[in-house]
Amino acid sequence: MPNKETIVNALRPVIDPELGMSVVDLGMIREVLIEGDDEASNVEIKMVLTAPFCPLADYIVAQVQQAAAAVPGVAEAKVTLLDEPWNPAWMSQ
Residue 40: Cβ-neighbour burial (10 angstroms; 0-12, 13-18, 19+): exposed
86 vs 93: CA distance, rounded Å: 16
93 vs 6: CA distance, rounded Å: 20
pLDDT at 93: 75
Q: pLDDT tens track of the chain, all 93 residues?
A: 899 999 999 999 999 999 999 999 999 999 999 998 777 999 999 999 999 888 999 999 999 999 999 999 999 999 999 999 999 999 997
pLDDT at 34: 96
- Report how many domains make up the chain: 1
Do 49 and 14 form a contact (C-beta atoms < 8 A)?
Answer: no
The CATH number of the domain where 24 resides is what? 3.30.300.130
pLDDT at 79: 98
Is 22 inside any structural domain?
yes
Is 90 inside any structural domain?
no
pLDDT at 53: 86
Boundaries of domain holding 42: 4-84
